[in-house]
Amino acid sequence: MKKVVLTFGLIAGLIIAGLVWVTAILVDRGAIGFERLEIVGYSSMIIALSMVFLGSNHTATIMPRGGLGFGKVYRSAC
């Protein structure tokens, strides 16, 4: 389960880092204004945090009886 947590966590981190990098370049060049950054920021958070759902869904499908609870996920992440 730690492999799943690390995989999907790294994917989410790369999504956030990539979007921050692209947004910083676009703001520096003046291609995007600050009024649009709110939409870009919230959209990137939703996209990155969807990895949490996909990771838990992946783990639930590989567990034999679907015995996935918050405690198991929390213990495996620590």
Give the amino acid at 34.
F
Among residues 17, 26, 25, the alpha carbon closest in space to that of 44 is found at: 17
DSSP 78: -
- Identify the top-confidence range among 10-14, 51-55, 62-66: 10-14
Q: Which residue did the predictor score with more confidence, 75 or 46?
A: 46
What the block records as the tokens of 52 is 């949490």
63: confidence class by pLDDT, cuts 50, 70, 90: low
First CA to last CA across the chain, in angstroms? 11
Number of domains in the chain: 1
DSSP, collapsed to helix, strand or coil, labels residue 65 as: coil
Position with higher pLDDT, 73 vs 2: 2
pTM over 0.75: no
pLDDT tens-digit map of 11-33: 888 988 998 898 889 888 988 88
Provide the residue range defining the domain that includes 23.
2-77
